[in-house]
């Protein structure tokens, strides 16, 4: 009995040792890598990539941060009317000073300058740009880095063009020339253009607009001879620019007002057609001269990406004669006015 018990105990001990060895083998790294997945437990979900911040945004953020730091360092307290204070390690503004002058939170501006993925509105970027004294190219660069649609400032939209641009369009006289922005607001004209066209004022702005004048006059008074062929092209060109200005109050207000004033414009706008600006041949009607067939060409303007110079040149001999006649009529009126001024001097 005693021998049998001893043999049984030895067998149990060997079984325990074998089981322990098997457990150790199963828990080894090699065995773990070969072990099939436990189907009773759900696999840990993998985090999807951040779809809100594409790779281009991740590359832009460090560049935005470096740009803001560099521009902050060059603006001194004296530049913005502040006392330098004590213990200023660098000559530029502090982050909290930029935030205060821009009317934004210190934490928000700090995150912006650190390149964190935060959203910035055009109004806030404008405030920061004013504080950092950014010029037009720097302001546009800031917008692009922040991935916010850039729009020219309201001064340019209201009709301020450089004297050099005005000189260019004046120099092409007697050919009509004009500077348009993307909404067909007229920013500058030369005398020949004013001889050829009569532009009305839209009710919501002090800026003359070509589309407003063409769509809100009776068809018989429209200066475009082939009105129904040309107006759809102009509306499609307007829509191609609208994609860069969706939601902007000035654009939305203009589209709403013109749609209400002209059912024809509203109909064309709903078509959704899109075309970029390009050369055209148009026939215009002048009440005193007759018809002029003109070729148009658009020229870009450095520093004004939303605007263009459009020059009209006569396309046939008759139109060239009419263009010269328009210029002669203008010069004759000028001589008459000067003569009247000499006869009736101002008191």
List the beta strands (DSSP E) in the chain.
177-181, 186-189, 280-286, 290-300, 307-314
For CA atoms 237, 239, 243, 246, give the dihedral sign: positive
- What is residue 50's predicted lDDT score, i.e. its pLDDT? 43
**Residue range 177-184: mean pLDDT, rounded:** 92
Long-range pairs of 214-219 with CB within 8 A, sequence gap ≥ 24: 215/258, 215/261, 215/262, 215/264, 215/265, 216/258, 216/261, 216/262
What are the tokens at 108?
Answer: 């928000």
CATH class of 157-340: alpha beta
Of 89, 94, 93, which is closest to residue 77 (Cα–Cα)? Answer: 93
- Region 19-27: mean pLDDT is 50
Q: What is the DSSP string of 276-336?
A: ----EEEEEEETTTEEEEEEEEEEE-TT-TTEEEEEEEE-SHHHHHHHHHHHHHHHHHHHH
Higher pLDDT among residues 52 and 317, named by residue:
317
Q: What is the mean pLDDT of the chain?
A: 78
Domain range summary for the chain, segments of one domain joined by +: 55-150, 157-340
Asked whether residue 161 carries a pLDDT value surpassing 70, the answer given is yes
Confidence of residue 202 (pLDDT cuts 50, 70, 90): very low
For 104-124, what is the mean pLDDT? Answer: 86
* Distance set, CA 252 to CA 143, 151, 210, 245, 259 (Å): 21, 14, 17, 9, 11
Whether residue 297 contacts residue 279, with contact meaning beta carbons closer than 8 Å, is answered with yes
* Mean pLDDT value across residues 35-53: 39
- Of 7-11, 50-54, 108-112, minimum mean pLDDT range: 50-54
Tens digit of each residue's pLDDT (9 = 90 or more) over 66-109 = 999 999 998 888 777 777 666 777 778 889 989 888 888 899 89
Query: In what side-by-side order are the strands of the sheet with 186-189?
Result: 186-189, 177-181, 307-314, 290-300, 280-286
Fold category of 55-150 in CATH: 434 Repressor (Amino-terminal Domain) (1.10.260)
51 band by pLDDT with thresholds 50, 70 and 90: very low
CA distance 323 to 36: 88
pTM of the model: 0.56
Highest mean pLDDT among 16-20, 131-135, 184-188, 316-320: 316-320
């Amino acid at each position: 009995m005693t021998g049998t018990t001893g043999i049984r105990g030895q067998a149990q001990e060997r079984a325990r040792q074998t089981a322990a060895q098997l457990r150790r083998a199963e828990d080894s790294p090699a065995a773990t890598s070969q072990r099939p997945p436990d189907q009773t437990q759900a696999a840990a979900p993998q985090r999807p990539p951040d779809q809100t911040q594409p790779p281009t945004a991740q590359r832009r953020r460090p560049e935005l941060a470096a740009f803001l730091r560099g521009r902050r360092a060059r603006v001194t307290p004296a530049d913005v009317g502040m006392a330098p204070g004590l213990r200023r390690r660098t000559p530029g503004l502090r982050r909290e000073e930029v935030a205060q002058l821009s009317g934004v939170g210190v934490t928000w501006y700090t995150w912006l300058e650190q390149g964190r993925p935060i959203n910035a509105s055009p109004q806030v970027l404008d405030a920061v740009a004013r504080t950092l004294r950014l010029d037009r190219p720097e302001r546009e660069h800031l917008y692009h880095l922040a991935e916010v649609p850039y729009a020219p400032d309201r001064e340019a939209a209201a009709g301020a063009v450089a004297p050099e641009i005005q000189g260019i369009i004046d120099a092409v006289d007697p050919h009509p020339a004009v500077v348009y922005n993307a909404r067909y607001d007229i920013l500058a004209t030369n005398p020949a253009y004013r001889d050829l066209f009569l532009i009305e004022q839209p009710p919501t702005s002090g800026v003359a607009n070509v589309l407003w004048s063409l769509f809100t006059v009776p068809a018989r008074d429209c200066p475009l001879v082939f009105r129904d062929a040309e107006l759809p092209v102009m509306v499609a060109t307007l829509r191609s620019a609208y994609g860069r200005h969706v939601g902007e109050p000035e654009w939305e207000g203009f589209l709403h007002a013109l749609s209400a004033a002209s059912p024809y414009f509203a109909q064309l706008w709903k078509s959704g057609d899109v075309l970029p600006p390009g050369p055209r041949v148009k026939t215009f009607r002048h009440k005193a001269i007759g018809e002029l067939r003109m070729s148009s060409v658009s020229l870009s303007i450095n520093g004004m990406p939303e605007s263009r110079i459009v020059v009209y040149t006569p396309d046939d001999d008759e139109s060239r004669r009419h263009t010269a006649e328009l210029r002669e009529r203008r010069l004759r009126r000028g001589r008459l006015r000067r003569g009247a001024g000499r006869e009736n001097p101002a008191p």
